[in-house]
Structure 1
Amino acid sequence: MFSRLRADIRCILERDPAARSAWEVITVYPGFHAVVLHRWAHACWTHGFKWPARFIAHVARGLTGIEIHPAAKIGERVFFDHAMGVVVGETAEIGDGCTIYQGVTLGGTSLYKGTKRHPTLGKNVVVSAGAKVLGGFLVGDGAKIGSNAVVIKPVPAGATAVGIPARIIPSKAGESADVAAPQKFSAYGITQDDDPLSQAMRGLIDNAAGQEHQIALLWQAIEKLSSQPGTQGLRALRRSARRELRGGEADAADRQVERVLAPCCSGRVHRPPGTPLRECPPAFGLLLDFAAGSTRCPVHEGTP
């Protein structure tokens, strides 16, 4: 018993730089008081003294602001830091070396009695302020739960869960053992890894910038090409297209182009006759296919 108390005091001195002495921890740390009182309540519960167990838990809640069901299982060296408003449900299990901050809920999503409704935390898990871990699943050893995260699915060992609902940031290769080690303790579960959503957003932005650059280069090339009337390559493309679209098909294609170009020629886009094709954006792409060799809108000036 006393060895467990010494381990609990030592873990608080290691993780809280504000703790100055063992005497201070014993007398004025509500997280320490909550763990000690819970052990008494849990002993009563396991020996069949349900009401005394609930009464001790009720007193502990009033003294510390931490509500722990007497049936919950808590390991050694567990530290409730600034833990006002923490709720630990009946079937919850907290492994050795865990740290839980204020406003955390280890809750359930089921109303069925006799089932595993609350989460199990592995060893050296850090649950940051305001986080909600809901459901009867496992949070692996050395995992971190970010502040205000809502976790509704298992978290692998060494991973970090952030956001609402929580997204999983996998641990780096070979890092799990280090994360679980006491010397690697991270206050409030702070990690240097990027949020996967921010990584994806940065990738999309970089990709869009690259596409804009490529489009600008293509536009310059097309503009240069369209400004050269009588270009043999464009005329050859026109002849090839006419050969492929024989007879009525070619005429139908021309009529389709005219329908597509109707907004350009109905007064909604004012453009004097003879305006170069590159200044007629609605028609630009289609005209390169169907009016190759021309630098003017075929609806206004006709095709060659």
Structure 2
Amino acid sequence: MKKNLVNLTALIAGAVVSLLIAEICFRTFCLLRYDRALKRVSHELFFVDKTKDYVLKMRPNTSRTNKTFGGSDQSWEYKINEYGFRGDPFDFNRKSFRIVFLGDSYTFGWAISDEDVHPRKVEEILQAERNKDVSVFNLGVPGYSTVTEAALLRDWIDDLKPDLVVLDYVMNDAELQNNVPEKPELIYRGQLFWLLDFFMEQLKTFSRETFGKKKNYSYLEGFEPKSWKWRASKEALRDISALCAERGIPLMVFILPDVTQRIGDFYGLRLIHEAVKQWGAELEVPTYDLLPYFDGKNHEDYWVPGDGHPNAKANQIFAEVMADKIMPFIRDSA
């Protein structure tokens, strides 16, 4: 009996040691693979900064004209300022009501020209309608997620000293940063065992593809109850809220719809809209859903053909709604 107990203890100890060795090997493999992948990243708009959680930064003083899509006769232009963000140079000394916009390619204004981007439109509307100087800083970067946006704000909030922070939340904001390999530490954030989480994700993928679930990926999968993605996104929103609250800076969240989908009863991403509104309520952050402003409209009128991002017409609606919600903050600051 005693011998059997010793053998069982040795077996369990051996299994635990083997699993720990496997975990260490897997983590080492993930980190080495990540470093190799970063070395292969090459893009005319971005460069790699491994010291940052957001990893990719836009190249300062860059300007470019792009085709809307391959073979298109439509083109658009962007201009990156000396600090690596879209738009005019930042004026840190200007006495004005300062608004920082956080977001991804929707906020950046992918596939539309500088003058049509909604943060710039918001500035124009507020300047025209309020007797007060307003400065908008567009920190939107294509491919960023809520997690990387929180890290970016942490780096810039004390330099820009905003009077208001606006977060644009889009349907893929719970996903991994899609223009660069994601840091393994972020992929497995909150997971004690990376290897176990990897196998669980592989099992979910196999089950989904084998037993009849949709094979085309949906952003809704990131909002499944057991998904770590929505938890990471919610925690990042909490971080953004805390950064602002610690400095007495108001925060607003705007949920931007996916205009490639049919609007109305056929719109398939309402779960994400409802979840983010609930997060805003829990954090006591004013949160506005822009989907209702597109109800009854033909979604094809609001996206860039061949690309899928919101066009100038959609950005105008975004800007008008946002400016209307922002005006009370400017009035109260007078």
Q: Normalised by the shorter chain, which TM-score bucket?
A: under 0.3
Higher-RCO chain (CA-CA 8 Å, sequence separation at least 6): 2
What TM-score does the superposition give when structure 1 sets the normalisation length? Answer: 0.21
Structure whose CA Rg is larger: 1
